[in-house]
Amino acid sequence: MDKGEETIYQFSAPLLDGRQVSLDQFQGQVLLVVNTASKCGFTSQYAGLEQLYRAYKDRGFTVLGFPSNQFGAQEPGTEVEIGAFCEKNFGVTFPLFAKVDVNGPHAHPIYRFLKRAKPGIFGLRRIKWNFTKFLVNRQGYVTGRYAPTTKPKDLTAAIESLLDSL
């Protein structure tokens, strides 16, 4: 990969509390970037994402959650409501960002990058539903894209492989 190639570290986004975060603060970590929703059939995956985060955060792993209301209006709450829901129901401690669009003309630049780096099946770039997951290596490059039906625990081997490689 060329030194001039785009990495996830070139982007920033606001957290639920409005504080702007540059993703370069996660340099050297393995990241799992997920578009989330509080009223989705996959919402229970928050628990699995939190388990992964707690299991591997001390080894340089972070989950980054990006709530989106683009699929069936399944994330209607405010940022405060989203944070309270995730903490109360799933004990989420990994970073959650303010709501974003993941598709369309207003898609957040992070999601434009992720979809360019790892298109979906048949080369389609569109995110199909909540809880689509992107795995990013320690160098900031996207190494995997996983469907909403992929359970967080099913990513354990891929995460461990990236954590073990330098």
**Structural domain boundaries in the chain:** 8-164
Of 17-21, 82-86, 126-130, 151-155, minimum mean pLDDT range: 126-130
pLDDT in tens, 21-47: 999 999 999 999 999 988 887 788 999
Per-residue pLDDT at 1: 42
pLDDT in tens, 133-150: 999 999 999 999 999 999
Please count the residues of the chain. Answer: 166
Give, in degrees to the nearest 5, the angle at Cα 109 between 96 and 13: 35
Q: Among 46, 52, 14, 37, which residue's Cα sits nearest to residue 127?
A: 37
Q: How many angstroms separate the CA atoms of 158 and 12, rounded? A: 25
Q: Which residue in the list 8, 40, 49, 159 is annotated as catalytic?
A: 40
**Is CATH 3.40.50.300 correct for 8-164?**
no
Q: Among 21, 24, 29, which residue's Cα sits nearest to residue 7?
A: 24
pTM: 0.92
Question: How many helices (H) and strands (E) are present in the chain, helices listed first?
Answer: 4, 6
Q: How confident is the model at residue 2 (pLDDT cuts 50, 70, 90)?
A: very low
Residue 40 appears among annotated catalytic residues: yes
Torsion of CA 131, 134, 136, 140, to 10 degrees: -110
Q: How many angstroms separate the CA atoms of 104 and 127, rounded? A: 10
Residue carrying the six token digits 């707690």: 54
